[in-house]
Amino acid sequence: MDKISLNVLGLTYSQTQSGAYALLLSEENGERRLPIIIGGYEAQAIAIELEGLKPPRPLTHDLFVSLARTVEIKFTEVNIYKLEEGIFFSELVIQSRGAAIRIDARTSDAIALALRFKCPIYTTEEILTKAGIILDFDKQQKQEIIEEGLGEEHKEKIPIKSTSKSSKYSSYNLTDLNGLLEKAIGDEDYEKASEIRDEISKRSKEQ
C-alpha cells in the first residue's frame, strides 16, 4: 500500500447533517485535506484529546488505552485503506507478543486511539485523489469562515474556523474562565470546556 502520512487538522460542525461533525485530516507533505463526517460522540472523544482535557472519569477510548498498556499491546499505526460509497474503512495495526495484528475499526475510533497512542495515521494516494480537497487561504484569514466542497463522495460544506462561540465568554475575567472550565470538565460538558479553553488561549496570546 502506498502510504501517505496524515495529521489531524481539527474538527468543525457539519453544516447539513444535524449532530454530525467534519474531521479534517491534512496531508503531511502536501496541501490536500481529507474531510470525514463523524458522529457527535466520536467527535467529543477526538476533541478532548486535541484540547488536552482530562475527564474526571475515563471515557471508552481512554479505558481501551489503559487496557492495552496493561497487557503490553503496542499500537504502531492506523491505516485508512478504503473508501466505498462515501464510507472510509480503517484498520489498527498493533504489536502483541512480537506479532503484527491488524484490527478493523471505524475511522473515527481509529483516529481517537491514534491521538492517544501518538501513532502515525496513513492513507493511500487513491483515497486522497478521490476524496481530498485543497483549502487555499492565507494566515490572516484563520478567523474567517471558509467553505469548500468535499468532492464527489461528500456533499457537505465545512467551516474551517468560527469565532462566534467564544465571544459569549468575552465579559469574563481569567479567574472566572478557569473556574468555568473546571466546572465544565467536572460536568463532562466537553463542548463547553473546549469553547472556554479557546477563550483562555485567545486571552493568553493577547497579553
Least confident interval from 12-16, 58-62, 137-141, 179-183: 137-141
Q: Which residue has the higher pLDDT, 168 or 99?
A: 99
pLDDT of 108 > 50? The answer is yes
Banded model confidence at residue 102, pLDDT cuts 50, 70, 90:
very high
Summarize the confidence of residues 146-155 as an average pLDDT.
34
SS (H, E, C) the chain: CCEEEEEEEEEEECCCCCCEEEEEEEECCCCEEEEEEEEHHHHHHHHHHHHCCCCCCCCHHHHHHHHHHHCCCEEEEEEEEEEECCEEEEEEEEEECCEEEEEEEEHHHHHHHHHHHCCCEEEEHHHHHHHCEECCCCHHHCCCCCEEECCCCCCCEEECCCCCCHHHHCCCCHHHHHHHHHHHHHCCCHHHHHHHHHHHHHHHHHC
Banded model confidence at residue 205, pLDDT cuts 50, 70, 90:
low
Q: Which of 42, 48, 1 is nearest to 20 (CA)?
A: 42
According to the model, what pLDDT value does residue 201 have? Answer: 73
According to the model, what pLDDT value does residue 184 have? Answer: 76
According to the model, what pLDDT value does residue 48 have? Answer: 86
Q: Give the global pTM.
A: 0.66
- The span from the CA of 33 to the CA of 39, in Å, is 19
- The span from the CA of 4 to the CA of 16, in Å, is 29
pLDDT of 188 > 90? The answer is no
Average pLDDT of the residues of the chain:
78
According to the model, what pLDDT value does residue 53 have? Answer: 81
pLDDT tens by residue, 45-86: 898 888 888 887 888 898 888 999 888 889 999 999 999 988
Q: What is the DSSP letter of 102?
A: E
According to the model, what pLDDT value does residue 18 have? Answer: 66
pLDDT of 124 > 60? The answer is yes
The answer to whether 49 and 116 are in contact (CB under 8 A) is yes
Banded model confidence at residue 128, pLDDT cuts 50, 70, 90:
very high
Q: Which of 113, 76, 106 is nearest to 88 (CA)?
A: 106
What structural domains does the chain harbor?
3-159 (3.10.690.10), 166-206 (no CATH)
